Chain A
Amino acid sequence: MSRSRRRAVLIGLAIVVAVVVGNVVAYAHNAQADLSATHHFSLAPQTKGVLDQVKAPLKVTAFLNKAGAEARDARFLLARYQELNHHISFSVIDPDADPTAARRFGISQYSTVVVMYKGRRVEAPAVDELDVSTAILRAVRGGTKTVCVLAGHGEPALDDQTGAGLSKVGDILRHNAYDVRTVDLTVGQPAVPADCAALFDFGPRDPFGPQEVQAINAYAKAAGRVMLVTSSLTRADPNPLTVPWGVHFLGGLVVDPQRSEGGDPTNVVIEDLPSASPVVDGVNRLQFPASAGVAVDPGLRDGLTVERLAVTSGASWVESNPDNELQFDKNDLPGPVVVATASDDSHVDTPSGLGSAAGGHIVRTRVLITASDTWLTNDFLDRLSNRRFFVNGLAWLTQEEQLLATTAQVSTDRSLPLTAERQARILVITVGLVPGLIIGAGLLAHFGWRRRRRRA
């Protein structure tokens, strides 16, 4: 082999080594600069921590309208997850274009994400970092929690697929690895099973017995988690269950002529979500039909905090006589009206006979109360952010809080209606003017060059 050839081989080898090493190092470090306005694709360190825990193939399937910008953003976001952990794969399916796949996954609506990991399935309500990362964490952690659902007071059933039923709520619970147990405290010895990670009462109609109230409160006091979804339609008095947690059920019917839907002032739309509670993370607006009002105790005991989650507009009121009229009068309570609260009660439980310095553990009770129950039904769960509100509440109660403190995304209007005039303007400039200028400049240069050559 000649010297020059040897040198060429060596240089070739050096190039191959440089290319391989350069790419391996870049692949391993996965550094990127995010120039997008919202830094939407720079995943948070907490997400990266979650992705480090993924050690086996994990499949993310997003169900979206493929033609929309949302599907493209979903692909961009999920591609970043894949870049950070190569065990992750993803696909975006349009339920309309591929109804078989949608049926196989049991998906009935857009914007649902299914995470599959080691045979476990977890759902996320939207394709954003918060929801996808939370779903991945749940899938990776594995295990199931038992949640108990109260029955015996005329509550709608979780398998009822009619508009007034709660089958969609049942699906959310099952798809998020919760075991659902129905608890009827009206029969036998009333006691809430201790292994209930949370106790739900979705729309009681009939009154609670005193022993039931005692059992529910005893469960709640012992670091229990309760979601009480009641409304003006109930004949039960929820106050014995809500007052210990700083919330008074006012009853009545909330009327909001300013923020309501379908010309029905009792079909209230809520835009004021004043708390920083994780229950309203990512929640923009809620629709609470036939809602009653609640009031937060002005003087709360130490350790008890109550967040006002949802408040109606200043033009609303609580109608005390809804059966006869919907006009504000002196018997009505003026708005804004609180229609959802989250109570968090923490105290240190010290062993009996010992002082507080002797140690003990923190007992934390969480109670989520909504004064409407219709928002959870099949007809209304997918309206506005109702589904998100429920999923957040579920996570908050069962202490699977969402991973990331969402930063406020600056919402920028990027709409650009492509009118015929705009379309024509684009075509005239880009297809006519610019190529024309290029050709004109080219001709000028060409003839100039020929003239110069002739002169030369």
Chain B
Amino acid sequence: MRQALTIGARDLRATYVSAFGIGCTAAFAALAGVLLVFDLRGNQARLDLWFSSLFVALGLLAALLAQRAFAEEERAGTLELLLTSPVRFWQVAVGKLLGVCGVLLAAIAATIVCPLLVSSMGNPDAGPIVTGYFGLLLVGVGFLSVGLAVSAATPNPLVAAAGTAAVLVALWLAGVLAGSLGGRLHAVLQYLSPTSHVTGFLRGTIAATDVAYFLSMTLVGLATVVVVLGARR
């Protein structure tokens, strides 16, 4: 695990030394503020709509952050070195995930000022805010691991970002498609869609199915990274 932490810390440092990491975090915080103004137009001190918008923004952020994970190594010529070093693939995968999760954590932390502002102006229910943030972390980690899997499969950062967005949109479409179907296929497609798993976080509940879904997404993403890296070596 130490190697994974070392890789994660190195990636995190590299991201924040460049303008990219700072820019992503600042842009996400600013976007959260703009969304807050839009979503408070219902004149209610509730943040479910705001969290719902942030989940979508999180998909974009994940695509942006993950695209660099392997492509940057490839550009700098250090990927080959990394793959041939005495580090296991799962350690590389977990390390890369930890690195991008650090940026995610900072971006999410930068939005905490929004519920604080709402609390100072009104009386929001604290439960949905807690579950909303829990959901943001869980969903963010899941989306990032999907992004890492796509990023590991391609040397081109643009293709990686577009591929991640495509996978996430496809999962979202599964839920839309489920609406027009019936029976078991409806249940399976609906379960596969992240939209049906964020509702609980928005309303103030944490359901075992939602946690299991996003943990599974993370696990499958990491396993795919390991498989892809193995194939690349």
A binding-site residues for B, Cβ under 8 Å: 8, 11-12, 15, 18-19, 22-23, 25-27, 29-38, 40-42, 57, 67-69, 72-73, 75-76, 79-80, 83, 86, 412-418, 422-423, 425-427, 429-431, 434-436, 438-439, 441-443, 445-446, 449
> Which residues on the B side are within 8 Å of A417 (C-beta)?
43
- Bound together, the chains give a CA A11 to CA B89 distance in angstroms of 13
| In-complex Cβ contact of A413 among B123, B130, B131, B213 (8 A) | B123
Pairs across A and B, CB under 8 Å, 22 listed = A19-B220, A30-B209, A31-B207, A31-B208, A32-B200, A34-B127, A38-B125, A42-B205, A69-B42, A76-B203, A80-B205, A83-B207, A413-B123, A429-B113, A430-B30, A431-B34, A435-B26, A435-B27, A435-B29, A435-B30, A435-B110, A438-B110
* Those 9 A-B pairs whose CB atoms lie nearest each other, nearest first: A430-B33, A442-B22, A36-B204, A35-B127, A416-B122, A435-B26, A26-B212, A76-B203, A416-B45
Contact with A along B96-108 (1 / 0, CB 8 A): 0000000000000
> Which residues on the B side are within 8 Å of A30 (C-beta)?
207-209
> Which residues on the B side are within 8 Å of A416 (C-beta)?
40, 43-45, 118, 121-122, 124
Using A8-B227, A414-B124 as known contacts, say yes or no to A18 and B36 having CB atoms under 8 A apart.
no
Whether B34 contacts A438 by the Cβ 8 Å rule is no
| In-complex Cβ contact of B209 among A23, A442, A445 (8 A) | A23
Whether B199 contacts A76 by the Cβ 8 Å rule is yes
Using A26-B209, A75-B199, A442-B22 as known contacts, say yes or no to A434 and B219 having CB atoms under 8 A apart.
no
Using A37-B127, A76-B199, A435-B27 as known contacts, say yes or no to A425 and B117 having CB atoms under 8 A apart.
yes
> Which residues on the B side are within 8 Å of A429 (C-beta)?
33, 113, 117
B contact patch SS: helix
Distance (whole angstroms) from the CB of A425 to the closest CB of chain B: 7
> Which residues on the B side are within 8 Å of A414 (C-beta)?
44-46, 122-125
Using A36-B128, A426-B37 as known contacts, say yes or no to A23 and B43 having CB atoms under 8 A apart.
no
Whether B25 contacts A418 by the Cβ 8 Å rule is no
B74 within 8 A of A: no
B150 within 8 A of A: no
- Bound together, the chains give a CA A22 to CA B216 distance in angstroms of 8
> Which residues on the B side are within 8 Å of A83 (C-beta)?
207, 209
- Bound together, the chains give a CA A347 to CA B42 distance in angstroms of 54
- Bound together, the chains give a CA A68 to CA B113 distance in angstroms of 25
> Which residues on the B side are within 8 Å of A436 (C-beta)?
26
- Bound together, the chains give a CA A436 to CA B27 distance in angstroms of 10
> Which residues on the A side are within 8 Å of B206 (C-beta)?
32-33, 35
> Which residues on the A side are within 8 Å of B34 (C-beta)?
427, 430-431
Contact with A along B216-230 (1 / 0, CB 8 A): 100110010011001
B87 within 8 A of A: no
> Which residues on the B side are within 8 Å of A68 (C-beta)?
42
Complex: chain B residue closest to A4, CB-CB: B230
Using A27-B191, A32-B200 as known contacts, say yes or no to A8 and B230 having CB atoms under 8 A apart.
yes
B202 within 8 A of A: yes
- Bound together, the chains give a CA A418 to CA B38 distance in angstroms of 10
- The CB with the most chain A CB atoms within 10 A, among B33, B130, B223, is that of B33
> Which residues on the A side are within 8 Å of B46 (C-beta)?
69, 414
